[in-house]
């Protein structure tokens, strides 16, 4: 379908829709044309409020001041018949002391921030330990490669230098060192990842504590 055909089709749909709306309006008004209404003070819900004319009276500043004065002067009778300023709530028991919604560790923002700083310092040390262990492991791999190359170049019976047997024994010892270092590296790396996750959890916990403190303040203000 070309662009022109699409535009013609859309125009036809709009005309059909407009015709349907016109029919609905005609039925709702019983075929009578309604007079235009002058909306008062931004009210735009015709049919729900009589807005054909402005209200007969408005709330004035004097009315507000008079209401406030009457409220300030109002008194109530207590159980002894005495005039009191505030009306009894008739609630049983004594008024309970305000108790915050969040307490203890849930609002210890200072402690959590301090812990986070300590965790980051430890994480940096763990990261350096991972780097050092990895470098040591790389050196062992290089030593093992050197021995392998030396073994290839050494004849079976070498009467003037190191024999293949000696080199093979050194390679076996080097393999044991490598396996031990790999286990050590894996442990250090795992500890680093675990601490990294703990730091991330602590970072996400800080705004939660801040929100808890703000929630306590809002509830305390309401009470």
Percent of the chain with pLDDT over 90: 29
Q: How much is the pLDDT for 169?
A: 93
Sequential DSSP letters for 156-188: SS-SSS--HHHHHHHHHHHHHHHHHHHHHHHHH
How much is the pLDDT for 39? Answer: 45
In whole angstroms, what is the distance from residue 174 CA to residue 144 CA? 6
pLDDT for the residue numbered 27: 59
Report pLDDT for 51. Answer: 46
Please report the pLDDT score of residue 110 as a whole number.
87
**Secondary structure class of 84 (helix, strand, coil):** strand
Predicted pLDDT at 25: 61
- Tell whether the model's pLDDT for residue 175 goes beyond 70: yes
> For all residues of the chain together, what is the average pLDDT?
76
CB atoms within 10 A of CB 167: 20
Q: What is the pLDDT of residues 146-167, one digit of tens each?
A: 999 999 988 877 767 888 889 9
Q: Write out 38-55 in H/E/C secondary structure.
A: CCCCCCCCECCECCCCCC
Give 58-71 pLDDT, tens digit per residue: 667 677 777 777 77
Instruction: Please tell me the predicted confidence (pLDDT) of residue 28.
Output: 56
- Residue 40 banded pLDDT, cuts 50, 70, 90: very low
């Amino acid at each position: 379908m070309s662009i022109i055909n699409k535009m013609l089709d859309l125009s036809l749909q709009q005309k059909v829709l407009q015709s349907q709306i016109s029919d609905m309006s005609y039925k709702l008004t019983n075929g009578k044309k309604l007079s235009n209404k002058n909306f008062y003070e931004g009210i735009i819900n015709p049919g729900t409020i009589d807005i054909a004319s402005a209200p007969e009276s408005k709330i004035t500043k004097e009315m507000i001041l008079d209401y406030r004065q009457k409220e300030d002067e109002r008194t109530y009778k207590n159980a002894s018949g005495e005039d009191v300023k505030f009306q009894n709530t008739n609630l049983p028991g004594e008024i309970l002391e305000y108790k915050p919604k969040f307490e203890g560790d849930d609002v210890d923002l200072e402690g959590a921030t301090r812990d986070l700083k300590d965790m980051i310092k430890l994480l940096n040390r763990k990261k350096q330990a991972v780097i050092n262990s990895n470098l040591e492991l790389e050196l062992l791999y290089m030593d093992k490669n050197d021995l392998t190359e030396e073994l290839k170049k050494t004849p079976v019976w070498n009467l003037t230098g190191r024999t293949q047997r000696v080199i093979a024994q050194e390679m076996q010892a080097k393999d044991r060192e490598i396996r031990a270092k790999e286990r050590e590296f894996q442990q250090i790396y795992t500890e680093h990842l675990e601490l990294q996750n703990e730091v991330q959890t602590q970072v996400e916990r800080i705004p939660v504590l801040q929100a808890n403190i703000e929630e306590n303040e809002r509830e305390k203000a309401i009470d």
